[in-house]
A = this chain, B = another copy of it.
Amino acid sequence: MFKQLGVIGCGLIGGSFALALRHAGIVPRVIGYSRTPATTAQALALGVIDVAAESAAQATVGCDIVLLAVPVAATEATLKAIRTSLEPGVLLMDAGSTKRDVVDAARRALRERIDGFVPAHPIAGKESSGIDHAEAMLFDERQVILTPLPQTDAGLLQKAREVWQRIGAEVQTMGPEQHDATFAAVSHLPHLLAFAYVSAVVNQPGGREFLAQAGPGFRDFTRIAASDPAVWRDILGANREEVLKQSQRFRTTLDALELAMRSGNSAALEDLIRGASELRGRWQIGQSGPPAAAPPPAPETD
Question: How many angstroms between the C-alpha atoms of A11 and B189 in the bound complex?
Answer: 33
Further contacts, 17 of them, CB under 8 A, given A196-B276, A211-B290, A230-B301? A34-B300, A128-B281, A172-B213, A187-B217, A187-B218, A199-B279, A208-B291, A212-B290, A214-B283, A220-B224, A225-B280, A226-B280, A228-B277, A228-B301, A229-B274, A237-B266, A240-B262
CB pair B183–A300 under 8 Å, yes or no, is no
Q: Is A85 an interface residue (CB 8 A)?
A: no
Question: How many angstroms between the C-alpha atoms of A244 and B11 in the bound complex?
Answer: 40
Q: Is A112 an interface residue (CB 8 A)?
A: no
Question: How many angstroms between the C-alpha atoms of A283 and B212 in the bound complex?
Answer: 9
Contact of A302 among B11, B192, B204 (CB under 8 A): B11
Mark the stretch among A21-29, A98-106, A248-256 that contacts chain B: A248-256
Interface of chain A residues 12 through 37 with chain B (CB within 8 A):
12, 14, 34-36
Chain B contacts for A215, CB-based, 8 A: 123-125, 142-143, 186-187, 285
Interface of chain A residues 131 through 169 with chain B (CB within 8 A):
131, 142-143, 145
CB pair B195–A276 under 8 Å, yes or no, is yes
User: Would A253 and B300 be within 8 Å (CB), given that A125-B217, A215-B143, A277-B229 are in contact?
Assistant: no
Q: Is A270 an interface residue (CB 8 A)?
A: yes
User: Would A213 and B182 be within 8 Å (CB), given that A197-B190, A277-B229 are in contact?
Assistant: yes
Chain B contacts for A270, CB-based, 8 A: 229-230, 233
CB pair B290–A208 under 8 Å, yes or no, is yes
Q: Is A39 an interface residue (CB 8 A)?
A: yes
Interface of chain A residues 219 through 241 with chain B (CB within 8 A):
219-234, 236-237, 240
| Residue of chain B at shortest CB distance from A145 | B213
